[in-house]
């Protein structure tokens, strides 16, 4: 159990970290034997990303990782969550690992440990090797089997030095934005494929847990990171409550059902019966997916507000997940999404820290005894340097203060929250939005790749050092 919780401060053992992902920061996409991932292909396809921007260079972390780790140490981070590029270490998604690819991550881990920063490895953050997509991608069962082999390779290479492991990051995005609405790689728009992908991502998680257990020391801790939605009905009308339940099944139950409870929701099967009979769920699959984990990662940005659509009106097109003529919510075209009240970030997402509290308390009930980590939380703003080169972002400080205050409240109310990873360490390639959305606590000049900690980075460093939230910087 965590240390006793003060209503003012965080426990001394609370882990203060920051997070990134491989394709968003590494660059060096053609070095060391790395082959294209689905995001290389997607970002080079005209019209897929803002301005046709790609992660070819990103912020060049592959060559600048030592300086980046030194910056993390300067900011007093206790942990750094990063992802491994599957196609950098296993270029075709099959066969032996490429040692030069693994060597990059070995060097990165060593650098972190020398600086007293705990590495947390995410095995999959959306960058499937293109050859596996060409063979069918996540809608095909074989991709889950390939993931287990990949997990074993990385576990064997880094398991002697890394204790924190995460199988998948936000499988909802991989399945439903990648294969449903098509706003993420690989850009397919098939609702049945998106449901098949969700199941095979679940299966990959379960197989990956087993593969890691077979090669990691007993001290290793394995988790998954879910972007579980806080789904709120527009009213207490029965139709709105039913709409919220349907979206909750598609956002949350489809993953935490089999992972945490050993069963898919029957209501999910009923709501999607017109699309699929779920016959791709084979005997034993759910038992495999239900492999015990040591912690649960939760990513939170904004809540969802939904209602039943009146008459012939169809949704959702205002769900905050990018513009598309195709829905990422299979079987829910008669559900409308609404903009929650309040201020918004540069992503257009409403700011509601109470959603994070609700999420933590929900999973305290859903998975009692399972430690929780916030593995992503943060905000994009239109940050610009001052004439002296400094970057002030009081809006982000206010965002972080509000959300961390809700984490502290959840701790005080009994939630076993062990740590918080700020998204993101630095500005980077923001997927289909290109470089136009800045989530970083560190500003990156994309012309020179110079890094400059924003005022929010200094604020967060002080919180990490003291365990007490500093005052909010007044807006100018």
- For the annotated catalytic residues, the residue numbers are 170, 376
Backbone φ and ψ of 16, nearest 5°: -105, 115
DSSP assignment letter at 151:
H
DSSP assignment letter at 475:
P
Q: Is the distance from CB of 32 to CB of 97 less than 8 angstroms?
A: no
For the CA atoms of the chain, what is the radius of gyration?
Answer: 21
424 cis-preceded (ω within 30 degrees of 0) = yes
C-alpha 263/C-alpha 269 separation (Å) is 11
C-alpha 136/C-alpha 305 separation (Å) is 34
E-only strand ranges, 372-450: 372-377, 417-423, 442-444
Residue among 173, 82, 49, 67 nearest 444 (CA): 67
Element spanning 362, H or E: helix 354-366
For strands 118-124 and 79-83, give the pairing: parallel
Residue among 144, 150, 30 nearest 94 (CA): 150
C-alpha 364/C-alpha 371 separation (Å) is 8
Q: Is the distance from CB of 72 to CB of 18 less than 8 angstroms?
A: yes
Q: Is the distance from CB of 173 to CB of 126 less than 8 angstroms?
A: yes
C-alpha 110/C-alpha 92 separation (Å) is 27
């Amino acid at each position: 159990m965590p240390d006793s919780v003060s209503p003012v401060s965080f426990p001394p053992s609370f882990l203060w970290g920051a997070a990134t992902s491989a394709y968003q920061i590494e660059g060096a996409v053609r070095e060391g034997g790395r082959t294209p991932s689905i995001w290389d292909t997607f970002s080079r396809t005209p019209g897929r990303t803002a301005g046709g921007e790609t992660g070819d260079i990103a912020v060049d972390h592959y060559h600048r990782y030592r300086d980046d780790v030194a910056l993390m140490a300067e900011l007093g981070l206790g942990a750094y969550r990063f992802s491994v590029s599957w196609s950098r270490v296993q270029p075709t998604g099959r066969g032996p690992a490429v040692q030069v690819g693994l060597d990059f991550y070995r060097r990165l881990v060593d650098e972190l440990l020398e600086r007293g920063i705990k590495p947390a490895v995410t095995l999959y953050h959306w960058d499937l090797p293109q050859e596996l997509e060409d063979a069918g991608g996540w809608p095909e069962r074989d991709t889950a089997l390939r993931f287990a082999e990949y997990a074993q390779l990385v576990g064997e290479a880094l398991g002697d030095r890394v204790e924190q492991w995460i199988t998948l990051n936000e499988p909802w995005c991989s399945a439903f934005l990648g294969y449903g609405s098509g706003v993420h790689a690989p850009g397919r728009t098939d609702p049945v494929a998106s449901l098949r992908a969700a199941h095979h991502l679940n299966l990959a998680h379960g197989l990956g847990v087993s593969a890691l257990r077979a090669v990691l020391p007993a001290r290793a801790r394995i988790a998954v990171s879910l972007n579980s939605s806080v789904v709120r009905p527009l009213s207490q009308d029965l139709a709105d409550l039913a709409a919220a339940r349907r979206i909750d099944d598609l956002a949350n139950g489809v993953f935490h059902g089999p992972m945490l409870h050993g069963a898919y929701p029957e209501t999910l099967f009923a709501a999607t019966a017109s699309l699929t009979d779920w016959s791709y769920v084979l005997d034993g699959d759910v038992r495999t997916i239900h492999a015990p984990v040591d912690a649960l990662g939760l990513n939170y940005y904004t809540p969802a507000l939904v209602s039943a659509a009146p008459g012939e009106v169809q949704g959702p097109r205002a769900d905050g997940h990018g513009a598309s003529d195709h829905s990422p919510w299979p079987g829910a075209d008669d559900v409308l999404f609404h903009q929650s009240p309040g201020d918004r970030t540069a992503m257009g997402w409403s700011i509601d820290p109470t959603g994070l509290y609700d999420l933590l308390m929900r999973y305290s009930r859903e998975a009692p005894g399972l430690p929780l980590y916030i593995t992503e939380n943060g905000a994009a703003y239109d940050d610009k340097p001052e004439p002296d080169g400094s970057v002030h972002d009081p809006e982000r400080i206010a965002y972080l203060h509000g959300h961390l205050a809700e984490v502290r409240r959840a701790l005080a109310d009994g939630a076993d929250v062990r740590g918080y990873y700020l998204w993101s360490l630095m500005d980077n390639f923001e997927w289909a939005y290109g470089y136009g959305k800045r989530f970083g606590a560190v500003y990156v000049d994309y012309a020179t790749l110079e890094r400059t900690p924003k005022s929010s980075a200094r604020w967060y460093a002080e919180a990490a050092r003291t365990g007490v939230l500093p005052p909010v910087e007044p807006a100018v």
